[in-house]
A = this chain, B = another copy of it.
Amino acid sequence: MVIIKDDDVVELAHGAGGKVMDSLIKNFVLESFVKRSISKSIPFLGEGVGLEALEDGGSFQVGDFEIVVSIDGHTVKPVFFPGGDLGRLAVSGTVNDVAVMGAEPLVLACSVIVEEGYPLKDLKRILDSANATTEEADIVILTGDTKVMPRRELDEIVFTTAGIGIVESGKIVRNSGLKAGDTIIISGTIGDHGVALLAAREGLEFTTSLVSDVAPLSGLIREIRNLGQITAMKDPTRGGVSSALNDLAQSSKASIWIREESLPFKKEVKAAAEMLGIDPLEVTCEGKIIIGCKAEKAEEILDTLKKNKYGKDAAIIGTVKPPISGKPLVVMETSVGGKRVVEKPIGEPIPRVC
């Protein structure tokens, strides 16, 4: 039971994917939302992954299948950013959340809330981009909703997408699946989305190659999923790789050891992050996944990733070990031979990053 004082308010960090958001969800949202079983008397309907699991989505069983559901509200600013836009982000973000659970994304439900006076041509550009991204991801927009808020009651537009996917019963990939000895792979360079977005917002334009990595990864994930032996997957969005690795370690009750030298960064991202004073490890990626797999399968998965345009910079970045003194820490072996704990950030440093 959390005591809420009268003057407690929502802070930006409550939505920023780090420790503060964790406490909001664990002490507050989960307390409000009582976990109940699906009590319907429908044949073939069974249990799945619930809210309390704190995965990228939830699931329920229908016959021999599990239906996976994920939802994300997208508030990115600016709406059009280098390498993408709100429409591409809203589709990719949710497709990726469904796919990292090991499911095949099938359909999307889209809710757009837009400010009165927003240019119709920009709305059309966003919808067209969302549509092109669904084509790329081979999914269908099944249903939608449009609301308009009066001028100045919303800053431009937000786009919420719910994704529904399907997977054979028992084949869901969960954050808790890592075992000591597993290998940790990342599918490409780190921090591209957040750094590109912030650089655009700050007017930093020293290079045109600084673009978001936003992309739907369902195709890439299907290729590696078919190889088998994947023990966990997560897309490092808010709070970046630091947050995602900590989530995986905590859920799996294991420690994760990564090697700084092996982490793939675009040099422009490293340079811009330094200039902007942010740690690229704590910054949102929108087209990357972290994969845990059995060690003997790692090279095959890496090769498969590298053949895909969204995985060409993939790298093996670490190993899973038992917890350290009972703690599920993330430890980085630094380039100079030291070790440091990679803490879960307080929150994503960039507001409205996704």
Contact = CB atoms under 8 A, between A and B. Distances in A.
Interface of A: 4, 6-16, 21, 24-25, 28-29, 32-40, 42, 44-45, 48, 50-51, 55, 57-60, 62-65, 67, 69-75, 77, 104, 106-107, 109-121, 123-124, 127-128, 130-131, 134-135, 138, 140-150, 152-155, 158, 160, 162, 164, 166, 351-352
B127 A33 contact: yes
Which of A67, A143, A351 gathers the greatest number of chain B CB atoms within 10 Å? A143
B150 A351 contact: yes
Given A15-B114, A158-B158, A144 B51 contact: yes
Given A29-B127, A142-B51, A12 B148 contact: yes
> How many copies of the chain does the oligomer comprise?
2
Nearest to A121: B4
Given A111-B71, A111-B160, A127-B32, A146 B37 contact: no
Contacts of A35: 140
Interface centre among A60, A71, A128 (most CB of B within 10 A): A71
Q: Chain A binding site: helix, strand, loop or mixed by DSSP?
A: mixed
A28 B112 contact: no
Contacts of A118: 9-10
A116 B153 contact: no
A147 B60 contact: no
A77 B144 CA distance: 21
B148 A16 contact: yes
B119 A9 contact: yes
Contact of A60 (B25, B28, B107, B113): B107
Nearest to A58: B142
Nearest to A351: B150
Contacts of A24: 146
Contacts of A69: 107, 109, 142-143, 162, 164
27 contacts: A4-B121, A8-B120, A9-B117, A10-B115, A12-B148, A14-B148, A15-B148, A25-B146, A32-B127, A32-B128, A33-B131, A40-B104, A40-B106, A40-B138, A45-B166, A57-B142, A58-B109, A60-B106, A62-B67, A69-B164, A113-B158, A145-B160, A149-B155, A153-B154, A153-B352, A154-B154, A162-B162
Contacts of A39: 138
Contacts of A352: 149-150, 153
Contacts of A36: 134-135, 140
A140 to B, nearest CB: 5
B15 A146 contact: yes
